[in-house]
Copies of this chain bind each other. A is one copy, B any other.
Amino acid sequence: MADNKASQILLAPNRTGAQTLIFHNRPAIASCAAIAGDMEGQGNFGEHYDLILEDDLWGEDTWEQAECKMFEEVVRLALTKENLSVEWVECLFGGDLLNQIISANFAARQLQLPFLGLYGACSTMAESLLISSALISGGFLSCAACAVSSHFCTAERQYRFPLEMGTQPTPTAQRTVTGAGCTILVQEGSACAKNVVVTHGTIGKVMDLGITDANNMGAAMAPAAADTICAHLADTGRSMADYDLIVTGDLGCLGSQLTRELCLKKGVDLGDKYFDCGERIFTAAQNVKAGGSGCGCSAVVLNAYLLKELFSGVYHRILFLATGALLSPDSSQQGESIPGVAHAVALECC
């Protein structure tokens, strides 16, 4: 190829490095909410959730319907908490782990909002924040809602074994979090904007180091997490010193340890400024093997805990990554390995 990119394509101004968008016109958080299952309610962030379910069905006939209800209610809750009207939301972004993202689709039907469905497996919370931030920053939306959900019982039924079988988890298995989280974004300067803005988004690549064990998702996602963290730092010229905290979504105990090691190999020492939501969400006494997983895992920790710590100034700058294992029962049965992807957004108290 004779011509190079710069001679062929006008370069984008709001962009740095290979994978990172810069939001000069910064989207701000207007509200957030998190709904969690009963077991999650007994975990480390129990006191922070807006609502804790008493049981897995939440008055519905099926677990799938309960998950859909969580998705819808967490959006309504995030809005009513701050006296915002559902009609003000110009677009709902989100997804879930179920085939055809039925939780999100059916909730979007109930909410009657313009809806862009996303599938990034457990990376969807960060993916929705990244895309909606770009649309707000670009002046295309005034107000966006980002929401995701996951449910232990629906995920087990779809991805592994029916719960009725009573299959024992392996030591490397993670427990899908029953929970839903929602973040409401508006333009900075809006009367309803809080003091936290999204400054950057880093789009992940699909990485695959050949993990084939569906009970070791942390290992499948770790390469993508490490790649996106290092890409973000390289793209922005930032270092660990620029962040109070780097948080990944649901790598669990094993995956987060691997992420530390992979980052260290690339010259980034995560040190004591790093934690993984899946590793932290349950207490040791709850004995959930390698930790929590699912879209809901990072979504409830972000919307119940991390954003509050930013609002109150405990943290000033956080890099939030959600990590997705692109696991499919069909592709696994056809001998494929499990690729992973991780997207990141930089959140800043201002």
Instruction: Give A residues with C-beta under 8 Å from B.
Output: 1, 3, 5, 7-15, 18-19, 21, 30, 61-62, 64-65, 83-85, 87-88, 90-91, 95, 98-102, 105-106, 108-109, 112-121, 127, 130-131, 134-143, 158, 186-187, 189-192, 203-208, 326-331, 334, 336, 339, 341, 343
Asked if residues B115 and A341 are in contact (CB atoms below 8 Å), the reply is yes
A9-B106 contact given A119-B117, A134-B135, A137-B138, CB 8 Å threshold = no
A33 to B118, CA, bound (A): 24
Q: Is the CB of B14 within 8 A of A138?
A: yes
User: Within the complex, what minimum Cβ distance (angstroms) separates A349 from chain B?
Assistant: 20
- Min C-beta distance of A300 to chain B, whole Å: 22
A61 to B141, CA, bound (A): 45
The reply to whether B117 and A9 form a contact with Cβ atoms under 8 Å apart is: no
B112 near A205: Cβ-Cβ < 8 Å: yes
A324 (CB) vs chain B CBs: closest residue: B117
Contact of A9 among B10, B108, B187 (CB under 8 A): B187
A113 → B minimal CB distance (Å): 7
Complex Cα distance, B85 from A7, in Å, reads 13
Contact across chains for A98 and B330 when beta carbons are under 8 A apart? yes
**How many copies altogether?**
2
State whether A331 and B102 are in contact (beta carbons under 8 Å apart), knowing that A115-B205, A116-B118 are contacts in the complex: yes
CA distance A16 to B98 in the complex (A): 33
A134/B142 in contact, CB under 8 A: no
Complex contact B5–A88 (CB within 8 A): yes
Contact B109 A339 (CB under 8 A): yes
Given contacts A14-B139, A106-B336, 7 further A-B contacts (CB under 8 A): A102-B326, A105-B326, A105-B341, A116-B120, A116-B343, A117-B120, A131-B131
